[in-house]
């Protein structure tokens, strides 16, 4: 693992302690199955009707995995490089009796065979940790069976630009849309380094990996709001999230 990825992993192990300290709250949220947004349910309805095997790279707390099984997935395999996140997610899935299995592994380079997934579900803070978008897309395509789907519900690449001022939305002086990389100062912080990929880069890289885009949409609501913060950047005028559904053409 390169030094930046190793340092990011340490930052995530520290932040993932939250999965243990807030275990009961997260378990209750998982049981309620609310984490899968209405727009995600709508976009994935046809795929979920077929009882897919789902792979969730960077599965984190695993709330979406429980919701995916409740919504029709046959099984979900979550992979994350945080041992703490993987352990807590597996414990919750076992307590709830849902078909979710978790593995410790790095993305790209997931410890899973080719053609093992009908659906690769990822996002909600995943792509910003990928230094090499081409390697990421190739790994996602490798996992998919012919005709399988890749689904992303992700923070919009413009999000790092928005300040969290409550009076009015401002563009941060220390950021650009084309910045490439910057030090994360929100969550997990601790010096973690994020990568910025423009929406153009993301779409072109996914198409280049052999997938056909079936849906792409941008949304004003962020997928994550820390605490009670009410940033003006979230008042409906700026892009804060996007969804993408693509199908492997082979
Ligand atoms: C913002 S969290 C989002 C996770 C998940 N989508 C969710 O909603 O809980 C990002 C997750 O990616 C994991 N992660 C970051 N970089 C990774 C990498 N290169 N390989 C594997 N996991 C990674 C972190 O450990 C963390 O659990």
Helix (H) or strand (E) holding 141: helix 133-143
Per-residue pLDDT at 103: 98
Torsion sign (Cα): 84, 89, 92, 97: negative
User: Which of 55, 60, 187 gets mutated to test ligand 1 (max ligand atoms within 8 A of its CB)?
Assistant: 60
Instruction: Report all structural domains of the chain as residue ranges with CATH numbers, in order of start.
Output: 3-248 (3.40.50.150)
Position in ligand 1 atom list of the atom nearest CA 61: 9
Find out whether the beta carbon of 151 lies less than 6 Å from any atom of ligand 1: no
Going from the Cα of 168 to the center of ligand 1, the distance in angstroms, rounded, reads 30
How would residue 33 be classed by pLDDT, with cut points 50, 70 and 90?
Answer: confident
pLDDT digits (tens, 9 = 90+) for 218-243: 999 999 888 888 999 999 999 999 99
Tell me the CA end-to-end span of the chain in Å, nearest whole number: 31
Ligand 1 centroid – CA 78 distance (Å): 10
Q: Which atom of ligand 1 is nearest to the CA of 125?
A: 1
pLDDT band at 96 (very low <50, low <70, confident <90, very high): very high
Q: Is 88 a residue whose pLDDT tops 90?
A: yes
Q: Is the pLDDT of residue 191 over 90?
A: no
Q: Which two tokens stand for residue 186?
A: 């929100």
> Are the C-beta atoms of residues 231 and 163 closer than 8 Å to each other?
yes
Q: Which residues pair with 155 in a beta bridge?
A: 241
């Amino acid at each position: 693992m390169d030094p930046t990825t190793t340092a990011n992993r340490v930052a995530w192990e520290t932040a993932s302690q939250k999965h243990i300290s807030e275990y009961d709250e997260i378990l209750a949220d998982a049981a309620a199955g609310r984490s899968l947004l209405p727009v995600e349910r709508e976009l994935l309805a046809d795929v979920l009707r077929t009882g897919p095997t789902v792979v969730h790279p960077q599965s984190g707390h695993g709330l979406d995995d429980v919701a995916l099984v409740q919504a029709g997935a046959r099984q979900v395999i979550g992979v994350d490089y945080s041992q703490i996140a993987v352990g807590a997610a597996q414990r919750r899935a076992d307590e709830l009796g849902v078909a979710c299995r978790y593995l410790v592994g790095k993305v790209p380079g997931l410890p899973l065979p080719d053609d093992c997934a009908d659906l690769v579900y990822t996002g909600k803070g995943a792509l910003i940790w990928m230094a090499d978008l081409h390697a990421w897309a190739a790994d996602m395509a490798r996992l998919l069976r012919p005709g399988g789907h890749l689904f992303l519900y992700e923070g919009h690449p413009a999000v790092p630009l928005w300040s969290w001022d409550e009076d009015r939305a401002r563009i941060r002086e220390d950021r650009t849309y084309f910045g490439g990389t910057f030090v994360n100062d929100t969550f997990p912080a601790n010096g973690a380094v994020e990568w910025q990929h423009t929406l153009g880069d993301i779409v072109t890289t996914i198409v280049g990996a052999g997938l056909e885009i079936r849906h792409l949409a941008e949304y004003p609501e962020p997928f994550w709001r820390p605490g009670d913060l009410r940033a003006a950047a979230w008042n409906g005028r700026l892009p804060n999230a996007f969804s993408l559904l693509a199908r492997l053409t082979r």
